[in-house]
Every structure is written in C-alpha cells, then in structure tokens.
C-alpha cells in the first residue's frame, strides 16, 4: 500500500487534517456549536464551486468562503450563531448558490463530486503543502487561545467579568473552525464534515477526561480513524469517507456502552 506515492501523500494529508479537526472539534462540541461547522462547510462549498467557475483552486475558494462566514458569524454573536433557524437559513442559501455555480460547471462534474464526498487519494503535493500551512497556523493559534477559550466556554459570565473579550474569542474561534472545516472537506467531503470534526471530540468528552488529556486524545483518535479509513478503503475498495464515518460512529457507541456498563 505504501509503495504508491499517492497513498503516502494521502496518509500525510489525513494526519495533518485530523490533527487540527480533533482539538478544534473538542472546543466546538464543548461550546455547543456543532451545527455551525455544518453551515460553514456549505458556505465553503459555495466558495469552492465559485472558485472553480472562475478558474481558481477549489481549496482556496472553500477556505475563503468558510473563513468569511466564520468571521461574520463570530461578529454576530450568540444572537445569530446560537439560533438554529438562522444557521439553517445560511446553510440552505449557500447550498443553493453552490448548486447555481455547478449549473454552469458542465466540465467539472468530477470536481463537484470530490467536493461533496471528499477525494483524499487525489491530494497533490502542492495541496499537501497548503494543508500543512493551514494545520500549523490553526494549531498555533489554538494553543495560544486554549486557556481563555476554555474559561469562556465553561463560565462565560465570569470570564467576561474578568476582562476576557468573549466577542473576540468567538470571532477567532469560528475562523479556526472555518479553516478546519475547509481542511476536513478535502478528506470527508462537504456532506461528512461532522465525521472528523465531531465524532472524536464527542467520544473524548463522554469520557470526562481532563482538558489537556482530552485534547491530546482527540488528535490520536482522529488520526487513528482517518488512517483506519484509508487502510480499510484500500482493502475493500469502499470510499474512505464511509469508513471514517463508520469507525467514528462505532467508537462513540462503544464508549457510551462502556459507560453504561461501568455505571458512570
């Protein structure tokens, strides 16, 4: 399997993406904003198809679209970001724009399929470098913000009283979510962004571990699920995104079952 260059690139890409999606998803689940990542992925889809229509890289369009939506959502605050109706409206409008752009992309049907369902085996070396830059930037910013972000997530009123800028944290964090979403879509596709963003984080939160241990655990679990999906896809010829989603769901259900048996 590793004799092929495209498989080695795929494993590297899966590691870079999973290493970001794990900890970002942990804060996302902790803050109760999982639906926001789904909306950002659809906005990114509109940006990616728009970029394809204009002749640019779909990853650049997806990143720009999701990042713009994340920043705007952060500035809007809880009045918009916390309402499922508003997020659902943004999601549906963005998906409609993506469908409109696809209508004019008669020559890029395969690219549209890759955007929706992921194409990790099609990651190029240049895209791998782009993913590396995004991953390092996201992890550096998240490491810098982790303590105030955890404080604001658990006790927002007290954090604001202590001088923590809740609005600024919301903007920066949702921008990080947007970048992680754009990365994740390269592996799982727009429709299955929840796979790596939410499943490992939800599993670790169910365990009730300390924050630092849980954040490290989300990275390990997300990487294990991504690599496991690649290996199973190689031997079964089923899509990688399917196996990643299935592994994430099984691990979460096993964790819930173990908690019930142990009485926790």
Which has more pLDDT, 72 or 2? 2
Arithmetic mean of pLDDT, 240-263: 85
HSE of 41, CA atoms in CB hemisphere, 13 A: 26
- What is the per-residue pLDDT for 80? 46
Q: pLDDT digits over 136-187, tens only?
A: 988 999 989 888 888 888 888 887 788 777 778 888 888 888 888 877 777 7
The whole-angstrom separation of Cα 229 and Cα 221 is: 12
Could you tell me which of 36, 95, 97, 99 has the C-alpha nearest to residue 71? 36
What is the CA angle 226-136-143, rounded to 5?
Answer: 100
Q: Is the pLDDT of residue 79 over 50?
A: no
Q: What predicted TM-score, i.e. pTM, was given to this entire model? A: 0.79
In a 3-state reduction of DSSP, which class is residue 133?
helix
Segment 215-227 mean pLDDT: 91
pLDDT value at residue 162: 82
CA distance 187 to 114: 9
d(CA 41, CA 95): 9
Instruction: State the chain's mean pLDDT as an integer.
Output: 80
CATH number 3.30.230.70 given to 5-191: no
User: What residue ranges do the domains of the chain occupy?
Assistant: 5-191
pLDDT tens, position by position, 88-140: 677 777 777 777 777 777 655 566 666 666 678 877 888 888 888 888 988 99
Count CB neighbours of 67 within 10 A.
22
């Amino acid at each position: 399997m590793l004799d092929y260059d495209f498989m080695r690139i795929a494993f590297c890409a899966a590691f870079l993406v999973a290493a970001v999606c794990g900890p970002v998803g942990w804060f996302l689940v902790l803050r109760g904003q999982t639906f926001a990542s789904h909306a950002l992925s659809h906005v990114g889809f509109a940006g990616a198809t728009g970029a394809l229509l204009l002749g640019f890289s779909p990853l650049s369009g997806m990143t720009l679209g999701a990042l713009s939506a994340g920043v705007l959502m952060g500035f809007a605050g809880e009045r918009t970001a916390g309402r499922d109706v508003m997020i659902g409206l943004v999601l549906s409008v963005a998906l409609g724009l993506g469908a409109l752009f696809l209508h004019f992309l008669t020559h890029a049907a395969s690219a549209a399929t890759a955007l929706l369902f992921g194409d990790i085996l099609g990651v190029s070396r240049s895209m791998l470098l782009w993913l590396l830059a995004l991953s390092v930037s996201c992890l550096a910013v998240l490491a810098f913000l982790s303590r105030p972000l955890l404080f604001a997530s658990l006790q927002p009123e007290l954090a604001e009283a202590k001088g923590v800028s809740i609005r600024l944290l919301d903007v920066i964090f949702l921008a990080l979510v947007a970048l992680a979403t754009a990365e994740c879509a390269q592996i799982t596709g727009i429709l299955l962004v929840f796979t790596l963003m939410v499943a490992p984080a939800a599993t670790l939160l169910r365990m009730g571990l300390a924050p630092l241990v849980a954040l490290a655990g989300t990275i390990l679990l997300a990487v294990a699920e991504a690599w496991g999906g690649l290996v199973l896809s190689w031997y079964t010829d089923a899509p990688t995104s399917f196996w990643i989603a299935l592994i994430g769901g099984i691990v979460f259900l096993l964790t819930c079952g173990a908690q019930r048996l142990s009485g926790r």
